[in-house]
Structure 1
Amino acid sequence: MSHLPSDIPFNLHRDALGQLVFTDRDGNQHAGVVPVRAFPITAPGASVSIVSVDGGELAWIEDPQTLDDSLRALIDEELASREFIPEIRRVKSVSSFATPSTWTLETDRGETCLVLRSEDDIRRLTPPALLIADAHGIHFLIRDRTALDAHSRKLLDRFL
């Protein structure tokens, strides 16, 4: 595992196919690299690993904010294109208190519906967060279930 301090230069750029290319301090290039957040839910702005196509770690970035703007922008852009975890702001309704059930939600990305196959698809994270997987494999985040409105908490509690 290579832990490169942010003050040791490495470079990222996009090739003609739009893939990220990592160039290490010795000039070795690795095409198709992927940035991966170490703690995407609990600390999304911290620690990022740059991983090669075969899964090997090329670099560890403890604090992405210490990178220059162009490197940080490339990493943020790539992460945004790969990560899609809408955050639930409100549970408007559920079709049934038995599963499977269809939930109508208000999220940070607009109103949507999810199909909850089983109560097992609701995972408890670091309290008071929850991660809910719908029937299509999309994950929805409730960062703080205690901050939801009373109606949302009441509906959610029926499934916990």
Structure 2
Amino acid sequence: MIEAPQSNLSGMQLERNAHGRLVLTLGNGLVYEAVVPVRAFPIAAPAEGLSLIAADGKEALWVARMADLQPEHRQLIEQDLAVREFVPTIERILKVSSFSTPSTWELQTDRGLTHMVLKAEEDIRKLAGRTRLQITGQDGVQYRIPDSSKLDRHSRKLLERFL
């Protein structure tokens, strides 16, 4: 028999233990040590569909919407996700080495200056329309552009050569 994960958030408690791991206590008293938050749709719907996975790999709790969580629980989960979901946001494209691939891009991100090698144009994915992009560098690091129309003119001009 397969047990369905609990989705009732009433009485739920979430805290960080002395080892920095998340501890989930459900309303019925069940305690799960070292739960790991996992988004169901991290790109398309990051605020919807979240699983808290127990140490045994089974789902301990399903959260339909992050907004349903108490603010302090949401903050703990967001902190854990931020460490695991390292996806810098591109703020400016300073220069590219070539307009053919592979090319080295010099970027200003929310995490600072960096260089990325774009292997192929297919490594630029359009998400939810034409302006939201995800770019994967040769080293596997993923970068996001929430809205390419909000980039400065120079950055847009460089980016458009690859789209």
- Counterpart check, 1:142 vs 2:141: no
Equivalent position of 1:125 in the other structure: 127
Q: Following the alignment from structure 1 to structure 2, what is the Cα–Cα distance between the partners of residues 49 and 156?
A: 35
Cα deviation digits, residues 26-82 of structure 1 (max 9, x gap): 322322211123443344344432122454322222333443343223212212222
The two structures, once aligned, show a CA RMSD in angstroms of 2.1
Separation of aligned partners in 2, 1:13 and 1:31: 10
**What SS does the aligned partner of 1:77 have?**
helix
Q: Which residue of 1 aligns with 2:155?
A: 152
Partner deviation per Cα, 1:99-151 (whole Å, 9 max, x = no partner): 22110111222221111111121111111211001111111001111222222
Structure 1 partner of 2:98: 96
11, 26, 31: which is aligned to 1:29?
31
Q: 1:87 aligns with which of 83, 86, 89?
A: 89
Give unmatched runs, 5+ long, in structure 1. Answer: none
What is the 5 A alignment of 1:53-92? 53-92=55-94
Structure 2: how far apart are the matches of 1:157 and 1:116?
14
Number of residue pairs aligned between Structure 1 and Structure 2 = 159
1:4 aligns with: 7
Q: Distance in 2 between matches of 1:53 and 1:121?
A: 34
Structure 2-normalised TM-score? 0.83
The percentage of aligned residue pairs carrying the same residue is 47
Q: Counterpart of 2:75 in structure 1: which amino acid? A: A
- Once the two structures are TM-superposed, the CA of residue 3 in structure 1 deviates from its matched residue by 4.8
Which has more strand, going by share of residues? 2
> Which one-letter code corresponds to 1:156 in the other structure?
L
